[in-house]
Amino acid sequence: MRALTWNGVNDLTVERVPDPQIINRQDAIVKVRLSSVCGSDLHLIGGYMPAMERGDVLGHEFLGDIAEVGSSRTAQESTGVVRKPRRRAEESS
């Protein structure tokens, strides 16, 4: 898949990164349709977050469709989801 990655202060690239995998039974994989860069990402881009490492992926606000679920999840594939900052993903209406 493609992802917007941080490579240093004000240095971003779109790169191919490994596809996600279900590791734990409560995991879900979402195929992202739209993503945005928000104000907190601007702090990351500018180097104001010392925990950033080369290759970290930006874009924690997104909407998409469930592509795969772990064995303990009840959501169905193709269900729409929205990822809100600091909140769990919720099923879309």
62-76 confidence digits (pLDDT tens): 899 999 999 887 777
pLDDT value at residue 85: 62
How many Å separate Cα 65 from the centre of its chain? 12
What domains are defined for the chain?
2-91 (3.90.180.10)
What residues contact 93, with CB distance under 8 A and at least 6 apart?
none
Helix (H, G, I), strand (E, B) or coil at 19: coil
pLDDT digits (tens, 9 = 90+) for 13-48: 999 999 999 999 999 899 999 888 788 888 888 988
Burial of 6 (0-12, 13-18, 19+ CB in 10 A): buried
